[in-house]
Amino acid sequence: MSSNPFPGGDDCRRTERAFTLIELLVVIAIIGVLASLLLPALASAKKKSHQAYCINSLRQLGIGIQLYAADWDSRYPLCRNWGRQWSPTDHPLRADFNYLPEMIAQYLGSNTLNVATNPAGLRPGMYNCPAGIKVPTMQNLIVANQTSYVWNHIYWIPGVGYGTAKPVSGRLDADVLDNSRATLLWEVPYWTPTQNMPHNLGINTLYADGHAARFPGNPAEADWWRYHSSDGWE
């Protein structure tokens, strides 16, 4: 008896049907449609993760500032000025070259991991926003500043000018009009919202009460600092 399982004799064999060209094109088209639907969602998720990373970094820096104040007679860090990107002769309040990272290093560790010598070396970290360091026009500034964040050393009072009479550097932490609105740190780039601001046309800021949040940019305001750095202080 034949052991052939196929009826019709030994010459009958099961054949596998290959995809036709049209079927392959249909599958490719479906994959393309799915990708077009998923990619924007993935890009949006990435932006949100960068914003969350940045806000978390600001909160950590806020803890360092609070610990400093607890050890130094309830005063905010007395920094030389806003940061290393600014000229050392621009409104300095101390003779040495200690900026915010140096002032709170004993609480949070040094900033060496975020220091880069060129834009290619920029990496996200507690002192560097992952979105901010990707803005091409800001990379050299961040390299020079050694952080993508700016200390509110002396704020600008609209219609008046620099608030040199009551700088934030060295100020009593209780000397705040509204600590939920008074900014301690903000990030670069903080000007020209429609072109530069890294978080959906906004920036993240740290406030005197320790919370951090996104501040939406206003296209009519070319320089966030000149409009909002005094909010909550005066």
pLDDT for the residue numbered 17: 65
- 139/220 Cα distance (integer angstroms): 24
pLDDT for the residue numbered 6: 44
User: In Å, what is the CA distance from 215 to each residue of 135, 188, 201, 218, 228?
Assistant: 18, 12, 9, 9, 10
pLDDT tens, N- to C-terminus, the chain (234 residues): 445 554 455 554 555 666 687 777 777 878 877 767 666 656 667 778 899 999 999 999 999 999 999 999 999 999 999 999 999 999 999 999 999 999 999 999 988 877 889 999 999 999 999 999 999 988 999 999 999 999 999 999 999 999 999 999 999 999 999 999 999 999 998 988 877 899 989 999 999 999 999 999 999 998 999 999 999 999
3-state secondary structure string across 193-207: CCCCCCCCCEEEEEE
pTM for this predicted structure: 0.81
pLDDT for the residue numbered 44: 67
Contacts of 67 (CB under 8 A, 6+ apart): 104, 107
Q: What are phi and psi of 92, to 5 degrees?
A: -75, 145
pLDDT for the residue numbered 40: 67
Q: What are phi and psi of 65, to 5 degrees?
A: -65, -40
Count other C-beta atoms under 10 Å from residue 215's C-beta: 21
